[in-house]
Chains A and B, each alone.
Chain A
Amino acid sequence: MTSAATSPSPLVAVEQMYFHYPRARITAGGAGWTLQDISLTIDLKSTVGIVGESGSGKSTLIRVMCGLLRHQQGNVRFNGKDITEYQGDGANELRRQNQIVFQNPRRSLDPRMTIRRSLTEPIRALQQRTPDDDELVSSIKRVGLGPEVLSRFPHQLSGGQLQRVGIARSLSVNPTILYADEPVSALDVSVQAQVLNLLMDLRDQMGLTLVMVSHDLGVVSRMCEHIVVMRHGHIVEAGRTSDVLSRPSSDYTATLLKAARAASLERS
């Protein structure tokens, strides 16, 4: 998210990337693409917020960047290497380093698995080892939960606790970059603040790169130094959050900001 001069090798580099979902009809005019002409870079240990209306392609973009979806045109590089070249053990390593936290923690954890097993799975799959109890306990403590949670099932936990488990699960394989797709929008207002603070604390402690999709400009302007504004599959505007939001260069960002301000509390 900074110029090439200050950062010769960004962690993630996307160049003129295009993506469409299967069976989309691409017209000569460019209709049908979910993402069009996306170029952006993400530096190691930076925090990036992706905002835009529903259907603008925010969630699709982070799925392409972390390798869950495969783009059709352009390049996506992770650590300087094209993500299509991560094969075999390399693919596992790519997944280990790119972890994602989803919006609805209840839907992203297997209801039939204990939390212990849910936390064990990614370590087994990506690192081919079985974690001992100490490791799981410290993993769950890191997100502010007690060890008693390990033997529980998802239905026995609240939404906020489950989202903490989701975060613990993503961090269990020690990723370089954490993608969070609307991590608090399914949570109660009084619980959202806990999870947002937790993400900020963990980012600082673990030196994580954090990429967060959010519809809430207030949350993004609090948490993310950099912002990407998306609309209709394009990047409308990107840059340092304080610059973009203080002096938006596009009408769309200005409209978004005005609407967010109207329906938000002012906080100093």
Chain B
Amino acid sequence: MLHLRNLRVTIDDYEIINIDDLALQPGARLGLVGESGSGKTMTAKAIAGLLPNEAKVSGEVNFDGQNLLTLGDRDLAKVRGKRIGFVFQDPARSLNPMMRIGKQVSEAIRIHTNLKGQAVTDKVVDLLRQVQLPEPETLLRRYPHQLSGGQQQRVMIAAAIAADPDLLIADEPTTALDVTVQEEILRLLISLSEQRKMSLLFVSHDLGVVRFVCNQVAVIYGGNIVEAGNIDNIINRPQHRYTAALLAANPGMPKDDNFSAFIGRRLQTITGSVPPVGRFPSGCRFRNRCQHASEKCATTPPITVSASDHRYLCWHPEQGGQS
């Protein structure tokens, strides 16, 4: 349903994104995992046509057979918000502080559906109920500051699904929330995607969260998708050295609740830090931080596709390519 091909985004001659192939099937939940500056948010913005003006974009963002990059503003507006919904990181900043909750959600309904009058209010109440907010009738009249962060994010999700989108793009939707609230919101996103057969593109820096929500994952570093495939395959048998290093550096929680064996255990580290945008090395983007890099890594690695559509860009894969 969503298929990115040869998507390239540059700003001031710096290459921000270079993705040659990334697909999302109907109803699937794909995690796009990367650190700051990796290009994960820019990829989401490129799909939504929300890139800054100075960005140069080429390639294809195919959504249901249309290349969104070639659509004019008017046609794009019919897709964006209606067929593709968005949820961003900080709900407090995405909601209008001066507008009652009911009005903010109804805006999305008025723009994207033909409903009028009481039918709009009924729909708002229904949506707020679907995102499991208590007493939706009273909540309508509240302002964003009267809600907790988790409730605000539920309102954002209600607005995003107002027009029954086929795809929901959620960019770090729980990063600003407490861990207990995070779990509730993640469960909500999973159940909405299942009930509505809605695909989810879940952008996150956290592989633990992605494992909980998604069935597929794409790891992005330096604007390249370095590895993609089934979430369990990638977590259990990562091929790209960056994915493997990222997994090893994750503090995680002890297996079988063996807390006493966990104490004092050092983490595996990745040397150096993520380069600023545009300063990634040529060839393999990760090679200046990789312990296994050789001269060969200065040239762009080929895409290896192994069984069950597990694909990666690495000259020296973790398990010799056995996935």
Asked if B253 is at the interface of the complex by the 8 Å CB criterion, the answer is yes
Q: Are B211 and A221 in contact (CB under 8 A)?
A: no
CB-CB under 8 A from B262, the residues of chain A are: 221-222, 242, 267
Asked if B26 is at the interface of the complex by the 8 Å CB criterion, the answer is no
Q: Are B35 and A190 in contact (CB under 8 A)?
A: yes
Q: Report A91 CB to chain B, min CB distance, Å.
A: 34
Given contacts A189-B206, A200-B266, A265-B207, whether A215 and B179 have CB atoms under 8 Å apart is yes
Given contacts A190-B246, A264-B253, A268-B254, whether A222 and B179 have CB atoms under 8 Å apart is no
Q: Which one of B182, B206, B269 has the highest number of Cβ atoms from chain A below 10 Å of its Cβ?
A: B269
Q: Are A262 and B267 in contact (CB under 8 A)?
A: no
Q: Are A190 and B264 in contact (CB under 8 A)?
A: no
CB-CB under 8 A from B35, the residues of chain A are: 188-190
Q: How far is the CA of A268 from the CA of B211 in the complex (A)?
A: 17
Q: Are A265 and B180 in contact (CB under 8 A)?
A: no
Asked if B250 is at the interface of the complex by the 8 Å CB criterion, the answer is yes
**Stretch of A5-13, A20-28, A121-129, A253-261 with 4 or more beta carbons under 8 angstroms from chain B:** A253-261
| Size bin of chain A's contact surface | 35 or more
CB-CB under 8 A from A266, the residues of chain B are: 252-255
Q: How far is the CA of A135 from the CA of B259 in the complex (A)?
A: 39
Asked if B273 is at the interface of the complex by the 8 Å CB criterion, the answer is yes
Asked if B90 is at the interface of the complex by the 8 Å CB criterion, the answer is no
CB-CB under 8 A from A50, the residues of chain B are: none
Q: Are B263 and A267 in contact (CB under 8 A)?
A: no
Q: Are B212 and A262 in contact (CB under 8 A)?
A: yes
Residue of B36, B183, B205, B208 near A265 (CB, 8 A) is: B208
Q: Are B183 and A258 in contact (CB under 8 A)?
A: yes
Q: Are B267 and A193 in contact (CB under 8 A)?
A: yes
Asked if A160 is at the interface of the complex by the 8 Å CB criterion, the answer is yes
Asked if B135 is at the interface of the complex by the 8 Å CB criterion, the answer is no
Q: Are A264 and B208 in contact (CB under 8 A)?
A: yes
Q: Are B263 and A263 in contact (CB under 8 A)?
A: no
Q: Are B179 and A256 in contact (CB under 8 A)?
A: yes
Which residue of chain B is the closest to A186 with respect to CB atoms?
Answer: B36
A residues 175-194 with Cβ under 8 Å of B? Answer: 188-194
Q: How far is the CA of A242 from the CA of B253 in the complex (A)?
A: 12
Q: Report B302 CB to chain A, min CB distance, Å.
A: 25
Q: Are A265 and B250 in contact (CB under 8 A)?
A: yes
Which residue of chain B is the closest to A220 with respect to CB atoms?
Answer: B251
Q: How far is the CA of A245 from the CA of B259 in the complex (A)?
A: 7
Q: Could you count the A-B residue pairs with CB atoms below 8 Å apart for me: how many are there?
A: 133
Q: Report A200 CB to chain B, min CB distance, Å.
A: 6
Given contacts A189-B35, A190-B35, A193-B268, whether A259 and B183 have CB atoms under 8 Å apart is yes
Asked if B245 is at the interface of the complex by the 8 Å CB criterion, the answer is yes
Given contacts A216-B251, A265-B252, whether A241 and B183 have CB atoms under 8 Å apart is no
Q: Are A188 and B36 in contact (CB under 8 A)?
A: yes
Q: Are A222 and B273 in contact (CB under 8 A)?
A: no
CB-CB under 8 A from A84, the residues of chain B are: none
Asked if A197 is at the interface of the complex by the 8 Å CB criterion, the answer is yes
Asked if A72 is at the interface of the complex by the 8 Å CB criterion, the answer is no
CB-CB under 8 A from B251, the residues of chain A are: 192-193, 196, 216, 218-219, 222, 264, 267
CB-CB under 8 A from B265, the residues of chain A are: 222
Q: Report A184 CB to chain B, min CB distance, Å.
A: 9
A residues 208-260 with Cβ under 8 Å of B? Answer: 215-219, 221-225, 241-242, 245-246, 255-256, 258-260
CB-CB under 8 A from B245, the residues of chain A are: 190
Q: How far is the CA of A54 from the CA of B36 in the complex (A)?
A: 23
Q: Are B180 and A246 in contact (CB under 8 A)?
A: no
Residue of B206, B249, B258 near A263 (CB, 8 A) is: B206
Given contacts A261-B253, A265-B247, whether A242 and B206 have CB atoms under 8 Å apart is no
Asked if B55 is at the interface of the complex by the 8 Å CB criterion, the answer is no
Asked if B69 is at the interface of the complex by the 8 Å CB criterion, the answer is no
Q: A196-B267, A263-B182 are in contact. List 10 more A-B contacts (CB 8 A).
A: A160-B273, A161-B273, A190-B246, A215-B178, A218-B253, A222-B251, A222-B265, A222-B267, A264-B251, A265-B252
Could you name 28 residue pairs across A and B whose Cβ atoms are closer than 8 Å?
A54-B178, A158-B273, A161-B273, A188-B35, A188-B36, A188-B205, A188-B273, A188-B274, A190-B245, A190-B273, A193-B249, A193-B251, A193-B267, A193-B268, A218-B251, A221-B262, A222-B265, A222-B267, A246-B260, A255-B180, A263-B182, A263-B186, A263-B212, A264-B208, A265-B207, A265-B235, A266-B253, A267-B251
